[in-house]
Structure 1
Amino acid sequence: MPRVKVTLQEIRERTYKPVDAWWTVLLVDPLASRLVRLVAPYRWITPNILTLIASIFGFGAAACFAVGETWYLVAGGILFHISFVVDCMDGKIARLNGTGTMFGQWLDFVLDRVRVFFIALALFGGQFVRTDDVAWLWLMAVAIFLDLFRYLNGAQIAKVRRSMTDQVNAYKEPLRAAQAEAAAEMSEPSTEMPEPEPETAPANPSTPPKKSSLKNRIGATLRRNRIRTHLISGIEYEMFVFIVGPITGLVFPVTIIAGAGLLAFESFLIFKLLRACQRFPGRLEAARVAYEQHEAERAAAVTETQSAPATV
């Protein structure tokens, strides 16, 4: 017996990411959330089953791309989009029903990469067979390289940033715990009269509020709509190469443009990582000094308490 269906609002609250790719937010989530509502009550439909179904649609897209003719390209683009929708459903089902596993995460990632590889092989290889133009083979190599580079680069950037954060937090966490403990002690009821708070000068109404930059306003608008500012990531790149290009019949120019956009955004992320790495030694040293100062003050306080004369 299926369970009672959940509402769309509950699915949005429990399965939507705070920010996501604009393609996912605008063109996938509205459909995926409704399909999740249909299948969520059936607990036998697990995330791994949805991952396998997405792979079946993906290989169907590859078969259409291999033919290489106009309407087969359109059919392949549609099947690829369906494959991506189903692939997004597996994560939502996992979060909604609590059925996600570590093996499922591995399976989802590996099958995604395998599916994209064979779809690229079929799309560009099919065009090479039809035209006998070796440029399609070079484009295939570039397209596959960029897709792999994006996901390897993203994983390594996250790893490096996580390592820097962990090293800084190794000094900051004890300080935060000590500050929280001190704040808790100060919040306990006291018989002493509280000191009057100093009066603060009222804000000058004639001073205009500081205007945010256009970049900040655009970023805030995107985040309010759950769209991340990294506008061309691996998702958008794949969607343009395997959906927009085949459906419009402009596979070659769309792939070139999408690849250039992906490289531009990846270069920007690498530049930001470089700046963060350059600032990291100073951040780590500041955290270390603050921690050692706190430890010295605490040791001095303990010594003073122990040396103070006992009162009868």
Structure 2
Amino acid sequence: MRTYSLDDVHETRKRRDSWWTVYFVDPVACRVALPVANHTRLTPNGLTVFSLVLGLVSAVCFGLNQLIAGAGFFYLSFMIDCVDGKIARLKGTGTPFGLWLDYVGDRIRVVLCAGGLAYGQYTLTGDVRYIVLGAAVAVLDLFRYVNAPQMKRVRDAVREERQDPEPEEVDPLLAGPLEPESLGRAPRSRVFRFFRRLNRFLARRRVRSHLVSGIEFHAAVFVIAPLAGAWALIPLAVSSGALLLLNEVFLVYRMWLFTRRHGVGSSQESREHVLV
């Protein structure tokens, strides 16, 4: 059986990832993945199930008002969730079912932990705001994961109708297409130049240009806020949720601009292809 090195594990990291993962999770996940790959027969699916179990323990801790323990188990759950992807890429043992399991497991973890956090704080304080907050966290997370593949389907449908094999230029802020008038000449605004430089700076560090994603949202709600204390739960959840929602709205706006700029037809068949 092949023996893997830490460099081999590092090669499995995503080319660009969230800043939370790059700086606070990958350094641990890579070192955990190394002995898992070399000394165990654990499969990516087995690791995903283990991650989900840790997420359930985190939810129970939150429900019992053990915030620090809940934050610790949530971090461990997410870290193991990163390890399973590294093992799958390292050994080539990933499966389509594993992708589904990983996707569904993430959603279950967030819903359980949001419910546990809301229940624990409500039973302690009687403040109904925690119930509302737990529901809002779960709904926002589900919306984000429903919205992303639908936006991709819209873009793919437009490109298919255009029958354009050429790749799109990449927007320096949100990885969306650039405006046609921006191509072939110097950017017209300082804001554009700033985001170009920012994107290159982040790319050198493997950090994605959209700095507020679901991963940062989860980290703020289920790790940082519980570690800070109960006083931080509502302010951090509301602020990080607002930033995430703003990012989603901006992504939808960019998609709308893309469809207007590259719209080629509106047959009933193409509409059904996008919306069904």
- The one-letter code matched in structure 2 to 1:158 is K
Q: Secondary structure at the match of 2:78?
A: helix
In 1, distance between residues paired with 2:224 and 2:164? Answer: 49
Give the conservation status (yes or no) of the 8 Å contact 2:158–2:263.
no
Q: CA deviation at 1:46?
A: 0.3
For 2:107, the equivalent position in structure 1 comes to: 113
Find 2:34's aligned residue among 33, 37, 43. 37
For 1:63, the equivalent position in structure 2 comes to: 60
- The one-letter code matched in structure 2 to 1:120 is A
Give the conservation status (yes or no) of the 8 Å contact 2:158–2:264.
no
Gaps in structure 1 of 5+ consecutive residues: 174-210, 285-312
Task: Tell me how many residue pairs correspond in the alignment.
Answer: 240
Find 2:227's aligned residue among 234, 244, 247. 247
For 1:203, the equivalent position in structure 2 comes to: none
In 2, distance between residues paired with 1:162 and 1:81? Answer: 35
- Deviation readout 1:1-43 (Å, 9 max, x if unpaired): xx34312222222x11111111111111111111111111246
TM-score by length of 2: 0.83
For 1:9, the equivalent position in structure 2 comes to: 7
Give the conservation status (yes or no) of the 8 Å contact 1:240–1:258.
yes
In 1, distance between residues paired with 2:243 and 2:42? Answer: 37
Gaps in structure 2 of 5+ consecutive residues: 167-189, 267-276
In 2, distance between residues paired with 1:43 and 1:131? Answer: 45
For 1:90, the equivalent position in structure 2 comes to: 84
- The one-letter code matched in structure 2 to 1:59 is L
Q: CA deviation at 1:220?
A: 0.7
Q: Secondary structure at the match of 1:41?
A: helix
For 1:218, the equivalent position in structure 2 comes to: 198
Indicate yes or no: 2:143 matched with 1:149: yes
- The one-letter code matched in structure 2 to 1:86 is I
- Deviation readout 1:200-234 (Å, 9 max, x if unpaired): xxxxxxxxxxx981221111100111101111111
List structure 1 segments (4+ residues) > 6 angstroms apart after TM superposition: none
- Deviation readout 1:249-273 (Å, 9 max, x if unpaired): 1111110111111011111111110
For 1:127, the equivalent position in structure 2 comes to: 121
Name the % identity.
41
Give the conservation status (yes or no) of the 8 Å contact 1:48–1:90.
yes
Larger Rg: 1
Q: CA deviation at 1:165?
A: 2.4
Give the conservation status (yes or no) of the 8 Å contact 1:65–1:123.
yes
Q: CA deviation at 1:283?
A: 10
- The one-letter code matched in structure 2 to 1:138 is V
Indicate yes or no: 2:260 matched with 1:263: no
Q: CA deviation at 1:76?
A: 0.6
For 1:197, the equivalent position in structure 2 comes to: none
- Deviation readout 1:91-143 (Å, 9 max, x if unpaired): 11111101111111111111111111111100011101111111111111111
In 2, distance between residues paired with 1:269 and 1:105? Answer: 24
For 1:277, the equivalent position in structure 2 comes to: 259
- Deviation readout 1:182-216 (Å, 9 max, x if unpaired): xxxxxxxxxxxxxxxxxxxxxxxxxxxxx981221
- The one-letter code matched in structure 1 to 2:8 is E
- The one-letter code matched in structure 1 to 2:93 is T
